[in-house]
Chains A and B, each alone.
Chain A
Amino acid sequence: MTTIAPVEQSPEKEVTQIEDHADFRLFGLAAFLVADGMTFAGFFAAYLTFKAVNPLLPDAIYELELPLPTLNTVLLLVSSATFHRAGQALRKDNAMLCQRWLLITAGLGLAFLASQMVEYFTLPFGLTDNLYASTFYALTGFHGLHVTLGALMILIVWWQSRSPGGRITSKNQFPLEAAELYWHFVDGIWVILFIILYLL
């Protein structure tokens, strides 16, 4: 791939010019998120079936504390909104504002991860204690992995929009839009997860 780059930069040498077409990378990402969503759907289905047909012994049942996960839900929902503001700012060519909202969003994401960690360390059960515990960690862990990736993506977008010849401007919004779509997806999954895991 690196050998290709110099050729691309000298368009006069190009023999043929192939058509340009609309950018549908976002469409591709959406299709990928459908696939990713199906992974979660599989996990949810497994969890609900376990719950329905594999009742635990009474002493293994543990009521989850709600305050921390509720806080997490709020953190993520707010971060979806702040990300949206970042996008609006970018479209208005307000780079400073956009960067600020991006940082806030990433901060909220990291706060979510931190509070998730706190929850992990205070829970009275471990990964292999019983079926329920394993499923709990698998589901929240897999989601947490998504949040981590998302937070990284936001920080990369932020970094790119900061550099003077920044690649992310109102004319090249794709990286921001992609990260935003992904982030909303991760938030949506969390809401379902919160309902199924904590409230049901």
Chain B
Amino acid sequence: MIFANPSSPEKTSERLQPTGWLRYFSFSLDHKVIGLQYLICGFIFYLIGGSLASAIRVELTSPISDFMARDVYNQVLTLHGTIMIFLWIVPVVNGAFGNYLIPFYVGARDMAFPRLNAVAFWLIPPAGLMLISSYFITGAAESGWTAYPPLSITTPATGQIIWIISVLLLGGSSIFGGINFIATILKLRQPGLKLMQLPMYCWAMLGTSILVVLSTPVLAGTLILLSFDIVAHTGFFNPSMGGNVIVYQHLFWFYSHPAVYIMVLPAFGLVSEILPVHCRKPLFGYTTMVYSIMAIVGLGLVVWAHHMFTSGTPPWMRLFFTIATSFIAVPTGIKFFNWVATLWGGKISLNSAVLFSCGFIINFVLGGITGVALAQVPFDVHVHDTYFVVAHFHYIVYGGSVFVIFSSIYHWYPKFTGRMLNENIGRLHFVLTFIGFNLCFAPQHWLGLNGMPRRVAEYDPQFTFVNQLSSAGALLMALSTLPFLWNVINSAMNGPIAGDNPWRALTPEWLTSSPPPVENWEGKAPLVNEPYGYGRSTKNPKSPNDGERDTK
């Protein structure tokens, strides 16, 4: 049934939108504006979360809690984790780049549900502000980003409840976004564009959105039960009232293991977009990439209890979850080799985008290896809840997702703003970040293996020196943000004009002006059946690739 829907917001004509910079502060329905709103908002929260991280590292330069009181440390730690996950990585790798790119990739003028899209974004700033202000008003939650009971029902209630409400809002935002992406990718595709011709980021977002829709509601339900325990004094998760804390852990990880893929699958997709452009080669193994993503989605839903090996899980459960988790390394490994093969023999330009993508590949492999190690019960029972786990997941969420976010900013900034970033400052940013990151987190493997527990403000003095090393790395990371900030702000005003397609890329977002018009393309949307046809001559005379045969 096709009909013109009078109130349909798909008619995003220029006149319906505020123009100029003001539109970034308005309830805009334009997917590109919403995408950048996600990005900028996310980045502000990243700066806040980063300051909290610096505070944590300052505290940990000495074995006693001198910089912060212990309960303040717990609040800072909780805020840091929650902000970084729910307000920075998830909204940016999904919301920001997803909203900006997916309509281009499917050849549409906007997302399937533009109004829902705007609502999803505008849930985020209030949720974030509420979370942060809880620190100043009542004291923030103290039980970590996992909010495990009974800790979360015995620590001060107000902060915990505010935490729950913000996470519920953010979860709702994420679900609305997920529904929108699924509808856009499956239903809004241009006629003639087959699923297997979509740029890889679409597949990554499809997989991610399936995870979001299936797992986020479970977290929401769980947190509602938790809030009953706190407010109404029910005993779902309160052992002293006959409740069961393990059930909370199962439900929580049923969301939160998929959540790690919600943070990293879109990053996989973004890297798969960036590498081919800058190596002038087709993405290696497109089909295997698609199947790996779907395999990760499927497996990702059935590995959650590897976070619970020390929670008294029965042997059969340990066995099952060890095997299932180890299996995830297979599709992940396939993707890794495909990226390497894409780079192999390519005409690589070592610009900031590529550097950050390569940094991602290196860090991600390290994080993946420690992940497989952690999946083995005999090893995990020794290092669970130590700094080894902290090192593992930072290699993946920071070394993986955050590196990709930076890479993507370097890659798409010309499209966003119409101007180029300064490459030398970009490379400086990369070098500082890469060294700082590895200096900060590599020593934490050693700390964990030697028994330093995570989430505590004080530690055995024998760990002092290595902790100081780690803090030095954190300082470098914090400093590395400065050239980046200067670069993006200065280039927005003074950078050289980028032109429509500075990278000579083939994907549809580049086949329009920079920044693109409200309706994405003047005239008809281009039909791109071969988004990775680099190094092949194409029939299209306008293709930026024409006549190019620069691979061996």
Contact = CB atoms under 8 A, between A and B. Distances in A.
Question: What are the 5 tightest A-B residue pairs by CB atom distance, in nearest-first order?
Answer: A42-B218, A134-B234, A39-B217, A38-B217, A42-B221
B183 A43 contact: no
B187 A131 contact: no
A127 B241 CA distance: 13
A27 B113 CA distance: 11
Contacts of A171: 3
B16 A28 contact: no
A52 B14 CA distance: 59
A23 B109 contact: no
B13 A16 contact: yes
A40 to B, nearest CB: 8
A169 to B, nearest CB: 12
Contact of A127 (B14, B179, B234, B254): B234
Interface string A82-118: 0000000000000000000000000000000000000
Interface string A156-169: 00000000000000
B2 A18 contact: no
Given A49-B250, A138-B228, A18 B213 contact: no
Interface string B413-450: 00000000000000000000000000000000000000
Interface residues of B, number: 56
A24 interface: yes
B160 interface: no
The contact size tier of chain A is 35 or more
B250 A39 contact: no
A49 B225 CA distance: 15
Nearest to B522: A16
B182 interface: yes
Point out which of A7, A42, A54 has the most chain B C-beta atoms below 10 A from its C-beta: A42
Interface string A1-40: 1001001100001111111111111011001101111111
B187 A22 contact: yes
Contact of B2 (A17, A21, A27): A21
B234 A128 contact: yes
B8 interface: yes
Given A14-B15, A31-B213, A130 B175 contact: no
A50 interface: yes
Given A31-B213, A131-B242, A14 B11 contact: yes
Contact of B519 (A18, A20, A37, A50): A18
24 contacts: A7-B15, A15-B13, A16-B519, A18-B11, A20-B3, A20-B4, A21-B2, A25-B113, A27-B183, A28-B113, A32-B175, A34-B214, A35-B178, A35-B214, A38-B213, A39-B218, A42-B222, A46-B222, A46-B247, A50-B244, A50-B247, A54-B242, A134-B234, A135-B236
Nearest to B8: A20
B10 A134 contact: no
Interface string A124-148: 0001101100110010001000000
A53 interface: yes
A129 to B, nearest CB: 9
B540 interface: no
A56 interface: yes
Given A1-B27, A130-B242, A131-B236, A21 B188 contact: yes
Contact of B235 (A19, A23, A131): A131
A43 to B, nearest CB: 6
B432 to A, nearest CB: 41
A46 B225 contact: yes
Contacts of B243: 50, 54, 131
A77 B517 CA distance: 51
B1 interface: yes
Given A15-B15, A32-B175, A24 B10 contact: no
Given A14-B11, A40-B221, A134-B235, 14 more contacts: A18-B13, A20-B2, A34-B214, A35-B213, A41-B218, A42-B218, A42-B251, A46-B222, A50-B243, A54-B243, A56-B242, A128-B235, A130-B242, A138-B225
